[in-house]
Amino acid sequence: MKNKITIALAFDEFLLEAGLHFVLDKKSDFEIHSSLHSQEEVSALFQSKNPPSILLIDIFSSRFDVDKILAYSAFSKKMKIIPVTDIRSKHDYLKLLKSGINSYLLKVCDESEITECIKKTVSGKNFVCAQVVDVLTDKAVLKEGEAPYKKTCEGLNISDREIEIIKLIAEGRINKEIADTLFLSNHTINTHRKNIMQKLGINNTAGIVLFAVKEQIVSANDFLFSSKE
């Protein structure tokens, strides 16, 4: 029998918690592990010997300490976090992305998005709903000097090979997987990655993914970040 995906819920809104519990509990491959209502309970869950697969949490709720949760998350290999919040600022999203929490849902997401996000996150592929991508890639909300890349593809002299590598990075592949797919060495892929970041004027994987989404190299609906690098 296939193992169920176990899920803990951490929210301060009764209706949201009850709604998620109802939606997830009726799925044959999901199982509700627990419901948490304080930072102490969340901290204890991270320290548990048998934590659930997923923690769905309103991470910016006043009941929880976002910095403490991020610190625990950095050392957690068994349990993955999926924040579920109202629409937030680009600064808030980037804070989580830079910490390694790369799946994200909004409270307005529908049942299919929630299900897809959980399954992709458990499998190692991460999911960010399209509305969050819109905030991350909207030039109108970027502060001065915060542009995710210098300009569009035109004039950047990005080669077909580099486009291919950008797509694979955005799909969540690590260097070894990209090298194996393209029959190249790890060193060659690493050199390509450095050249891509230099051309785009960014210094992390998230910037490459944002560029891939903005230029429609990958679909915003399948916006993925690698949690492996």
Please state the domain extents for the chain.
5-139, 147-222
Ordered DSSP codes for the chain: -PPPEEEEEE-S-HHHHHHHHHHHHTSTTEEEEEEE-SHHHHHHHHH-SS--SEEEE-TTSTTS-HHHHHHHHHH-SS-EEEEEES---HHHHHHHHHHT---BEETT--HHHHHHHHHHHHTT---B-HHHHHHHH-GGGPPTT--SSSS-STTTT--HHHHHHHHHHHTT--HHHHHHHHT--HHHHHHHHHHHHHHHT--SHHHHHHHHHHTTSS-GGG----S--
Q: What is the pLDDT of residue 145?
A: 43
Q: Which CATH class is domain 147-222?
A: alpha beta
Q: In this predicted structure, what is the pLDDT of residue 36?
A: 96
pTM attached to this predicted model: 0.63
Task: Return the CATH number of the domain spanning residue range 5-139.
Answer: 3.40.50.2300
Per-residue pLDDT of the chain (229 residues), as tens digits, is 468 999 999 999 999 999 999 999 999 999 999 999 999 999 999 999 899 999 999 999 999 999 999 888 887 778 999 999 998 888 888 888 878 888 899 998 989 999 999 999 998 887 888 788 777 776 444 444 444 444 445 556 788 888 899 988 887 888 999 999 998 888 999 999 988 888 887 777 877 887 887 777 876 555 444 444 4
> Does 5-139 match 147-222 in CATH topology?
yes
